[in-house]
Structure 1
Amino acid sequence: MIKSIKIDTATKFVVLLGFISLFSDMTYEAARSINGSFLRLLGTNGTTVGIVAGIGELFGYGLRFISGYLADKTKKYWLILMTGYLLNLFSVPLLAFAGYWQLAVVLMITERIGKALRTPARDALLSFGTQKMGRGWGYGLHEAMDQIGAIIGPLLVSAVLFYRHQDYSMAFGILVFPAFIAFSILLICKYLYPKPENLEIKTTSIVSQGFPKKYWIYILAVIFIAAGYVDFPLIAYHFKSKALMSDSVIPIFYAVAMATDAIAALIFGKLFDKIGIKTLLLAILISAFFAPMVFLGGFYWALAGMIIWGIGMGAQESILKAEIAEMIPSDKRGTAFGSFNAAYGLFWFAGSAVMGYLYDFSLKGLILFSIAAQLIAASVIFYLIRRQTQKS
């Protein structure tokens, strides 16, 4: 009876965090679905879009090491979370007033900084709630709810752009409503669960000064995944530049990818609880070849490529984090998630900058770079699986 109550309570906590993410993603993923075409409208080129996307991810992930470390040291999870969400959510509607690409870039990067502040603390809180329900399923469920918002948001701004004749100011401005709802649910969650770390049953563990070797090998795979994964603003820029579709259809393609992301997160999350890290290898091999479909194909090949792109994103947002929660003790998870995200962001930035440059000068070079990085990541994960098998 006590165990079932604990499972119930933990599940409700994960679902509440899921609703926060749902409305948050409705806000900033809607913006991200049109950021590339918006920057194109304001007069930028492919290299600039790639670098801006990369800088955004550099801040969005690089600063997570600091915020994760602070979360572990201070245990002020909710304070860090609220500060991050304020920046993350409310910089988005302000894009409605950005008449120059430089101002738009500042707001886009501010949104990423906010996400950097709040994500390690959020992931640590999630790890407390997912112990009883299964790491993979817990993170997968959260990611699926997250992506419901990531589907609704792009569809919302797509409708605004269609019915308001490409009115980007209205499209960004309307996002103040889901931003307000997300922050309100966050305040409710804090009130109901002031000490969420108590949801996890503490186990006796050997105290160590650092992370296990397996963690750093795992990070090596992560950086190749990040470096070779094309950010959507560059994909959106390509769609607009090649006139593959109208501006109002671009967010719909993003919504399709996010729907795929949600389904993939649930499937791979459940699979992770059964076969572990082998699930990640499968996901990488499936998603490694999205680039030629997106950048060389016509309308329908591009759509198929976005579905495969969504499968990879779903795996990255669920399995990658679930594996860290499994291998790292609770008192170090904020730092572990922060280090993981910092490495991910640094190489996402480097990869985005390289691929933005390659887009302007060698589209085939971009595609080869993306595929090669994913296959190297798959090789590292295969090595980890072999290493794990030999030890058991």
Structure 2
Amino acid sequence: MSNGRLLSPWRAILGFGLVSLAADMVYEGARSITGPLLAGLGASALVVGLVTGAGEAAALLLRLVSGPLADRTARYWALTIFGYGLTAVCVPLLAVTPFLGGAGLAVAAVLIVSERIGKAVRSPAKSALLAEAAGAVGRGRGFAVHKALDQVGAFAGPLLVAALVAAGGVIWPALAVLALPGVAAMILLVWLRHRFPAPPAREPSDTSVSTSLPRTFHWFAASAGLATGGLVTFGLISYHASETGRVPIAAVPVLYAAAMAAGAVAALASGHLYDRWGARVLYALPALAAATPALALSTSTAAIVTGSLLWGAAIGVQDSTVKALVADLVMAPRRATAYGVFAAVQGVAALVGGVLAGALYEQSLTLLAVVFAAAQLLSAVLLTVTLRMR
């Protein structure tokens, strides 16, 4: 490969962003309608919480394996491509579940979790590649620009789904159409692979790199885990919105698209402020997450919309600026491992939080809001500990 074919850091960031844009059209388009899809297949609120929570747990916990594997083998690109491939296949297959009778719910649950496994496989490797590029331009801005492009796809996918559901009155054709951006993402990813080199593998004899992760990283992982577990899933929000009749099923993807747009704005703003003010901007995450349940799970349409926007903003900060701090806390040869461990902590929290939210939803919405707000308060306390140790 000649140097003339290599991409500059900003162009590499834009390339990764365009891949995420296309891929997000696929899995965020499907995610926007997951609640109503599962409800239509016979799922209860508890089952929706369990499936979506298990999916997020798989997307996060399995990175504990894929992250160290990426650092040890330096096969960052292979893992990235394989993970995106799983998403491109599993989401369109959800279109067949309404035709499978009693097996439809089980198959849908397997496909939803399998798609999230694809996320687990690719994310540490992709984040390490992105951190490498963003280091030259400012990690806050680099991750923020990538996330903003990612959110464009997360906005467009649900809008496409909403239009198709509104036109046909059923969900499955919209899921089938999502195969198209999946193919586009894979083509772009293969092109990008030949124009941006992966970081080299760490030699076993290299003693300059510690085999352990810093204490500040572990404190921050605990803080982020509480923030993740205390943030209700959109699957439960959309279930509540559609089952209460406050938001028509065809409008649920539009609501999700609006949340993704809020996430893009939050990512850009928090990333810019991170490079200027430092990590204290991350206090916004527990604040946003704490306010979400009381609004998004209310009986007011306006409050549900407002809560969904706050949820999207929290996701935007969580998936961009949070990763910038991880990269600043951990040396480059251990970053994929760090992202894997970090996500594993979030995965445990996501599973517990998803099941807890589903159970509390059926018992008391007030108690749900109080418990999740307490989790965010503790998250903010641990973030304070992290920043004081730096």
- The residue number in structure 2 matching 1:201 is none
- The residue number in structure 1 matching 2:199 is 197
Matches within 5 A, 1:14-53: 14-53=13-52
- The residue number in structure 1 matching 2:165 is 161
* Structure 2 residue corresponding to 1:361, chosen from 341, 360, 363: 363
* Structure 2 residue corresponding to 1:304, chosen from 303, 306, 310: 306
**2:320 is paired with a residue of what secondary structure?**
helix
- The residue number in structure 1 matching 2:125 is 121
Q: Displacement, 1:386?
A: 3.5
* Structure 2 residue corresponding to 1:140, chosen from 144, 152, 170: 144
Contact 2:141 2:275 (8 Å CA) reproduced: yes
> Which amino acid in structure 2 is aligned with residue 254 of structure 1?
Y
- The residue number in structure 2 matching 1:65 is 64
Q: Displacement, 1:368?
A: 1.1
CA distance, structure 2, for counterparts of residue 168 and residue 208 of structure 1? 50
RMSD: 1.7
- The residue number in structure 1 matching 2:8 is 9
User: 1:5-31 deviations in whole A, cap 9, x for unaligned?
Assistant: 9x9701101100000000000000000
Q: Displacement, 1:296?
A: 1.8
Matches within 5 A, 1:190-339: 190-193=193-196, 195-197=197-199, 206-339=208-341
**1:91 is paired with a residue of what secondary structure?**
helix
**1:289 is paired with a residue of what secondary structure?**
helix
User: 1:51-100 deviations in whole A, cap 9, x for unaligned?
Assistant: 00111111111101101111000001111111111112211001111131
- The residue number in structure 1 matching 2:101 is none
- 106 and 286 in structure 1: CA distance in 2 versus 1, 3 angstrom threshold: closer
> Which amino acid in structure 2 is aligned with residue 240 of structure 1?
S
Q: Displacement, 1:209?
A: 2.9
CA distance, structure 1, for counterparts of residue 352 and residue 180 of structure 2? 34
> Which amino acid in structure 1 is aligned with residue 220 of structure 2?
Y
Q: Displacement, 1:222?
A: 1.1
User: 1:179-232 deviations in whole A, cap 9, x for unaligned?
Assistant: 000000001001222x2338xxxxx99532311111111111011101101011
User: 1:319-372 deviations in whole A, cap 9, x for unaligned?
Assistant: 110001111111000100000011111111111011111111121121112111
- 95 and 8 in structure 1: CA distance in 2 versus 1, 3 angstrom threshold: closer
**Which TM-score applies when normalising by structure 2?**
0.94
Matches within 5 A, 1:177-196: 177-193=180-196, 195-196=197-198
CA distance, structure 2, for counterparts of residue 369 and residue 159 of structure 1? 36
1:383 and 2:382 equivalent?
Answer: no
Contact 2:76 2:125 (8 Å CA) reproduced: yes
Q: How many residues in Structure 1 have an aligned counterpart in Structure 2?
A: 377
Contact 1:218 1:384 (8 Å CA) reproduced: yes
**1:296 is paired with a residue of what secondary structure?**
coil
- 66 and 302 in structure 1: CA distance in 2 versus 1, 3 angstrom threshold: same
CA distance, structure 1, for counterparts of residue 53 and residue 17 of structure 2? 27
> Which amino acid in structure 2 is aligned with residue 21 of structure 1?
S
Contact 1:53 1:352 (8 Å CA) reproduced: yes
Bigger drift between 281-290 and 323-332 goes to: 281-290
Contact 2:94 2:108 (8 Å CA) reproduced: yes
**Which TM-score applies when normalising by structure 1?**
0.93
- The residue number in structure 1 matching 2:53 is 54
CA distance, structure 2, for counterparts of residue 158 and residue 79 of structure 1? 33
**1:44 is paired with a residue of what secondary structure?**
coil
CA distance, structure 2, for counterparts of residue 383 and residue 59 of structure 1? 28
CA distance, structure 2, for counterparts of residue 283 and residue 190 of structure 1? 33
User: 1:253-293 deviations in whole A, cap 9, x for unaligned?
Assistant: 11111000001100100101112110101342244211111
CA distance, structure 2, for counterparts of residue 224 and residue 152 of structure 1? 30
- The residue number in structure 1 matching 2:203 is none
Contact 1:57 1:346 (8 Å CA) reproduced: no
Matches within 5 A, 1:59-98: 59-98=58-97
1:109 and 2:113 equivalent?
Answer: yes
CA distance, structure 1, for counterparts of residue 61 and residue 284 of structure 2? 27
CA distance, structure 2, for counterparts of residue 288 and residue 358 of structure 1? 16
